[in-house]
């Protein structure tokens, strides 16, 4: 590898990112600027920021590695990413979130829920979930990028983690959400064109689309023996219905991430950064295309890497990398593609990691500064910015430390874990906040708490992947899981926790006193068809009809 060329590429990249971060810092004058970019973000910037936040090294390295091990059935996740993560999120939920957030003057996702239900408890409890839960997600994103730096540059893995942490922390702490979104637009553009080239080159290398997929199908007899026992059938076919692998793929990967995206705080807050619904409409096409290209390419290339490794080394991908699936994509890129593209792809992964990490750190910082500190001390606006910046620094340190101790093949699992926790805690309450006026404060609190507790219980005591890794169940009960019979140990917590949360939200809301009509009118002002909800409008209607 030519270190001179690599150094030049990196210097140019970091100069661009640094300059964009500097512009954001110069334009950040208030809490609203720091947390919501003044609510005047361009749709192109918003769509790329949303996509770059959503799609990280976890998708490219982690889930690409999952595809390398288990095949193209994971492409169903790409469909949900586009349909749910963009179309439903932008059109059905994004518009209401933007308008309601503006009506309530909300600057963060927990504050949005707090104002909607008139509950300070919801704000600091939700902020706590985000601040203390997101380091899991941030750490696996760090690991994804560091693994590629380790493979490509022969750089120490721990040093790679440290370099990434310091760079991202700098522009997030000083630039706020503007620094995050501006740099994400640059990074998202690099990711988009880098992945398009990767897809085209990979198919060209294997002789075309038909030839590539035919070769992968022919490798079915070499599918990992342990995966076959668990229900895997090959790299181009879906696993056996109801098998442990089927449950793991469908409940944890496809549903957990594909549906859980709707409840991601760092994504939901993006809808409140634009000025009108027009910007959201304009962002849908670019956002959908971006989401389709990035993970779709990673999953296809990850699966097809088996053909390359088997043809050239006589081993399938997971065996060639020693069982650590997080190394499949980095190893394939370094061995199979031209050296100049390794530089480009390294920038692609750095952009993916830095864009997602910046949003994660910003979400954690605002959760502590705005949602916990301000709520408990009642010190508003600018007073919380120093606390927010200090909290971002703490979040960086937490993610860095955690990434030092996590095992291999953890990137996809860690991502799905955080998505599932957020879905269990927030998804039903968020949907009810937007679409069901009868939802009460008590119902929302019951939904958030029940979803969180059931999710944690299932992850610690039932779900095999996490229960065995944590070891808490083994320590307390003497057995790795409370229920070891299939399929229960393979069913992800989201399948159980979300229905429980939904039930508690609905039942408790129906049994408790409705919220103040004035608050409901304020929340839904300008949302949906215009109705005569207040007394003055009703009186005016009667007078007109009387005339």
Q: What is the pLDDT of residues 245-265, one digit of tens each?
A: 888 888 888 888 888 888 888
- Flag whether 261 is in a domain: yes
Residue 547 domain flag: no
Q: How many CA atoms lie within 13 A of 362 on its CB side?
A: 34
Whether 108 is covered by a domain: the verdict is no
Instruction: Supply the pLDDT for residue 544.
Output: 39
Structural domain containing residue 280: 7-101+120-426
Are the C-beta atoms of 515 and 433 separated by less than 8 Å? no
**Cα atoms in the 13 Å half-sphere on the side-chain side of 107:** 27
Same-domain check for residues 145 and 178: yes
Which residues are within 8 A (CB) of 268 and not within 5 positions of it... i.e. 6 or more apart? 93, 97, 109, 112, 262, 430
| Nearest residue to 402 via CA among 216, 161, 198, 167 | 161
Give tens-digit pLDDT for 211-223: 999 999 999 888 8
Shared domain for 451 and 359, answered yes or no, is no
Quote the pLDDT of residue 528.
Answer: 65
* Cα–Cα nearest to 117, from 441, 347, 527, 455: 441
Residues 388, 474 within the same domain: no
Please determine, for residue 37, whether its predicted confidence score (pLDDT) is greater than 90. Answer: no
* Among candidate residues 372, 397, 426, the one where a domain is terminated: 426
Query: Are 247 and 284 within one domain?
Result: yes
What pLDDT sits at residue 497? 94
* 470 falls within a domain: yes
- Domain assignment of residue 449, yes or no: yes
Q: Indicate if 454 and 394 belong to the same structural domain.
A: no
Which pLDDT belongs to residue 281? 77
Same-domain status, 406 and 497? no
Q: Worst-scoring range by mean pLDDT, 89-98, 181-190, 295-304? A: 181-190
Helix (H) or strand (E) holding 463: none
Mean pLDDT of 533-537: 44
Q: Are residues 376 and 457 in the same domain?
A: no
In a domain, 540, yes or no: no
> Which residue is it, tokens 């023996």?
225
Closest by Cα among 426, 452, 419, 270 to 358: 270
pLDDT at 445: 96
pTM, two decimals, is 0.80
Mean pLDDT of the chain, nearest integer: 80
Residue 409 clears pLDDT 70, i.e. is over it: no
How many C-beta atoms lie closer than 10 Å to residue 338's C-beta? Answer: 9
The percent of residues in the chain predicted with pLDDT above 70, rounded, is 80
Is pLDDT at 532 greater than 50 in this prediction? no
Regarding whether 455 and 359 lie in a shared domain, the answer is no
- Per-residue pLDDT, averaged over 327-345, amounts to 84
Task: Indicate whether 295 pLDDT > 90.
Answer: no
Residue 277 and residue 347 in one domain: yes
Q: Which residues of 310-319 are buried (b: 16+ CB within 10 A; e: fewer)?
A: beeeeebbbb
Q: How large is the average pLDDT for residues 125-150? A: 83
Read off the pLDDT of residues 474-505 as tens digits, 9 standing for 90 and up. 888 888 888 888 788 888 899 999 999 999 99
Among 72-86, 250-264, 269-283, 438-452, where is mean pLDDT lowest? Answer: 269-283
Beta carbons within 10 angstroms of residue 74's beta carbon = 25
Q: Any idea what the CATH number is for the domain that residue 336 is in?
A: 1.20.1730.10
pLDDT (tens digit per residue) in 52-71 = 666 766 778 888 888 998 88
Calculate mean pLDDT across residues 82-96.
86
368-372, 389-393, 527-531: least confidently modelled range: 527-531
Average pLDDT for 150-161: 78
Q: Which of 393, 426, 459 is the last residue of a domain?
A: 426
Same domain, 347 and 483: no
303 and 447 in one domain?
no
pLDDT at 447: 96
Report yes or no on 247 lying in a domain. yes
Kindly state whether residues 422 and 444 are assigned to the same domain: no
For residue 114, is it within any domain? no
> How many domains does one find in the chain?
2
> Quick one: tokens of 316?
């399938």
């Amino acid at each position: 590898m030519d270190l001179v060329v690599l150094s030049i590429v990196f210097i140019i990249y970091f100069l661009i990112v640094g300059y964009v971060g500097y512009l954001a810092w110069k334009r950040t004058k208030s809490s609203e600027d720091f947390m919501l970019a003044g609510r005047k973000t361009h749709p192109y910037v918003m769509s790329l920021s949303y996509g770059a936040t959503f799609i990280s090294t976890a998708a490219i390295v982690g889930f690409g590695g999952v595809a390398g091990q288990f095949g193209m059935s994971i492409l169903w996740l790409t469909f949900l990413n586009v349909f749910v993560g963009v179309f439903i999120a932008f059109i059905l939920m994004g518009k209401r979130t933007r308008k309601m957030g503006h009506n309530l003057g909300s600057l963060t996702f927990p504050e949005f829920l707090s104002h909607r239900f008139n509950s300070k408890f919801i704000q600091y409890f939700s902020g706590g979930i985000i601040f203390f839960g997101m380091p899991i997600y941030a750490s696996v994103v760090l690991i994804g990028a560091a693994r590629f730096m380790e493979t490509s540059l022969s750089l120490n893995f721990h040093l790679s983690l440290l370099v990434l942490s310091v760079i991202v922390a700098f522009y997030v702490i000083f630039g706020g959400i503007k620094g995050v979104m501006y740099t994400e637009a640059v990074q998202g553009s690099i990711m988009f064109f880098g992945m398009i080239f990767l897809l085209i080159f990979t198919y060209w290398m294997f002789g075309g689309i038909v030839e590539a997929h035919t070769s992968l199908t022919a490798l079915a007899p070499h599918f990992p023996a342990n995966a076959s026992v668990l229900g895997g059938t090959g790299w181009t076919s879906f696993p056996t219905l109801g098998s442990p692998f089927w449950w793991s793929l469908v409940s944890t990967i496809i549903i957990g991430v594909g549906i859980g995206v709707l409840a991601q705080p760092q994504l939901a807050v993006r809808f409140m950064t634009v000025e009108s619904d027009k910007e959201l409409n304009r962002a849908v096409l670019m956002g959908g295309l971006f989401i389709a290209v990035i993970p779709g390419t990673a999953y296809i290339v990850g699966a097809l890497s088996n053909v390359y490794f088997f043809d050239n080394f006589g081993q399938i991908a997971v065996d060639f990398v020693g069982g650590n699936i997080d190394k499949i994509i980095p190893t394939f890129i370094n061995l199979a593609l031209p050296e100049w593209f390794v530089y480009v792809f390294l920038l692609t992964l750095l952009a993916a990691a830095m864009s997602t990490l910046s949003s994660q750190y910003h979400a954690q910082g605002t959760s502590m500064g705005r949602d916990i500190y301000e709520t408990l001390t009642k010190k508003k606006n600018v007073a919380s910015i120093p606390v927010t910046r200090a909290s971002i620094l703490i979040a960086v340190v937490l993610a860095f430390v955690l990434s030092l101790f996590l095992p291999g093949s953890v990137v996809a699992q860690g991502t799905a874990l955080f998505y599932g926790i957020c879905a269990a805690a927030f998804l039903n309450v968020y949907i009810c906040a937007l679409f069901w006026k009868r939802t009460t404060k008590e119902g929302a609190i019951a939904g958030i708490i029940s979803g969180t507790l059931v999710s944690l219980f299932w992850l610690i005591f039932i779900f095999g992947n996490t229960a065995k890794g944590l070891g808490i169940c083994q320590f307390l009960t003497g057995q790795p899981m409370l229920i070891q019979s299939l399929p229960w140990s393979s069913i992800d917590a989201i399948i159980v926790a979300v229905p429980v949360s939904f039930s508690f939200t609905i039942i408790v809301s129906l049994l408790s006193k409705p919220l103040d009509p004035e608050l409901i009118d304020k929340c839904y002002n300008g949302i949906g068809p215009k109705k005569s909800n207040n007394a003055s409008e009703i009186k005016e209607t009667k007078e007109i009809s009387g005339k």
